[in-house]
Amino acid sequence: MSFESSCDETSVAIVENGHKILSNVVATQIPSHKRFGGVVPEVASRHHIEMITYCIRDAMKEAGVNYSDLDAVAVTYGPGLVGALLIGVTAAKTIAWAHHLPLIPVNHLAGHIYAARFIKPIVFPAMALVVSGGHTELVSMPKEGQFEIIGETRDDAAGEVYDKVGRVMGITYPAGPDVDKLAHEGHDTFHFPRAMEKAPNYDFSFSGLKSAFLNTVHHAHQVGKTLNKADLSASFQAAVVDVLVHKTRKALKAHPVKQLILGGGVAANLGLRSHLKAMLAKDFPHTEFLKAPRKLCGDNAAMIGGAAYVFYKEKKFAGADLNADPGLEF
Ligand code: KG4
Ligand code: ZN
């Protein structure tokens, strides 16, 4: 049984051997956060408390299992919102203790990476690009269970910027899916900046792009001009995707791998998926592209169960003193 409650989804899943999903119940809080334009931590914690027992009940019912069928309990213990994480951690610890099951602490980002494991096994060495509402990271994975961040955002995460630019175009949280759709109906007419493309590292920066976008919209508003939302979205998406693809190419050149894994909420982006695929086909024809299934890109507990299996085999268990770690790194 696995738990995920790091942000605005309460989720419980039953996963067999790290790759077969028996159930994956996700109670989303998005409607509650929409009116605030983003996730309100206190509201998130309260919803997790309300929903967690129903999620446990439904996940077990859907999978057709009893507590005696379980081998272990896994939980996201960071990174994320501390109050939100604590609900999942407490629920997982309680079930592990009551039923004498090993407790497996899982890093949320490892979960996003292992969402791809439901397509096929990961082959090492691998590289993962994790792009979500809170993270933008390039992770080198020389062996199973080893994760090394080689590049990350210096400021905003890609998903966070999607949500922000969507908001100024009047799109409600989370704006990523709608901006992605609009982008396919427009053209890159604004040519927004591509930050840090020439920097000698694998880091990203999206705050300059965000400011350029906001300035363009505010300026147009001041002079009474209406900008085409499809072109704005297409221009924004082209800038994000260009930088992500460019830095991934650079990282792959320096760290040749057998697979490139794509995970995280923004991994559902169709522009990003197709451009990464084209880049691999052209520059790294021997590197396989392993994408998380679109329906497992957003936060869910099945991906935590997928990653947990690796730690289960290595017997990396935690005790009842496991705590939430909001700033957890690999
Ligand atoms: O991984 P996730 O569910 O939560 C975090 O761990 O942060 O990611 C949520 C983020 C949101 O910012 C949302 O707007 C973005 O993923 N997102 C997308 C798309 N679908 C979701 N961004 C761009 N294109 C999409 N199709
Ligand atoms: Zn996430």
Written as one string, the DSSP assignment of 123-137 is: -SSEEEEEE-SS-EE
65 burial type by CB count under 10 A (0-12 exposed, 13-18 middle, 19+ buried): middle
Place of tokens 């990396």: 316
86 falls within a domain: yes
Distance 310 CA to ligand 1 centre (A): 25
Total domains in the chain come to: 2
User: Do 307 and 166 have their domain in common?
Assistant: no
Known binding site for substrate: residues? 130-134, 163, 176, 180, 269
Per-residue pLDDT in tens (0 to 9) along the chain, 330 residues: 999 999 999 999 999 999 999 999 999 998 888 888 889 999 999 999 999 999 999 999 999 999 999 999 999 999 999 999 999 999 999 999 999 999 999 999 999 999 999 999 999 999 999 999 999 999 999 999 999 999 999 999 999 999 999 999 999 999 999 999 999 999 999 999 999 988 999 999 999 999 999 999 999 999 999 999 999 999 999 999 999 999 999 999 999 999 999 999 999 999 999 999 999 999 999 999 999 999 999 999 999 999 999 999 999 999 999 999 999 998
Q: Which CATH number characterizes residue 281's domain?
A: 3.30.420.40
Nearest to 156, CA basis, from 199, 113, 231, 213:
213
- Determine which residue's CA is closest to atom 14 belonging to ligand 1: 176
Q: What ipTM was reported for this prediction?
A: 0.98
User: Do 105 and 155 have their domain in common?
Assistant: no
User: Do 257 and 164 have their domain in common?
Assistant: yes
Known binding site for Fe cation: residues? 108, 112, 299
- Alpha-carbon gap, residue 300 to 10, rounded angstroms: 8
> Given the CA of residue 163, which atom of ligand 1 is nearest to it?
14
> Given the CA of residue 6, which atom of ligand 1 is nearest to it?
6
Whole-number Cα distances in Å, 242 to 101, 151, 187, 274, 275 = 46, 16, 14, 12, 8
pLDDT of res. 198: 87
14 falls within a domain: yes
User: Do 56 and 157 have their domain in common?
Assistant: no
Number of Cα atoms under 13 Å in the Cβ half of residue 229: 13
Instruction: Indicate the length of the chain as a whole number.
Output: 330
User: Do 132 and 177 have their domain in common?
Assistant: yes
User: Do 225 and 302 have their domain in common?
Assistant: no
Distance 297 CA to ligand 2 centre (A): 8
Distance 133 CA to ligand 1 centre (A): 5
Phi, psi of 318 (to 5 degrees): -115, 165
Residue span of the structural domain in which 62 resides: 2-113+297-313
326 falls within a domain: no
Which residues lie below 8 Å from residue 176, measured CB to CB, with a gap of 6+?
A: 133, 159, 162, 163, 166, 265, 266, 268, 269
Here the tokens at position 154 are: 């210096």
Known binding site: residues? 108, 112, 130-134, 163, 176, 180, 269, 299
User: Do 238 and 195 have their domain in common?
Assistant: yes
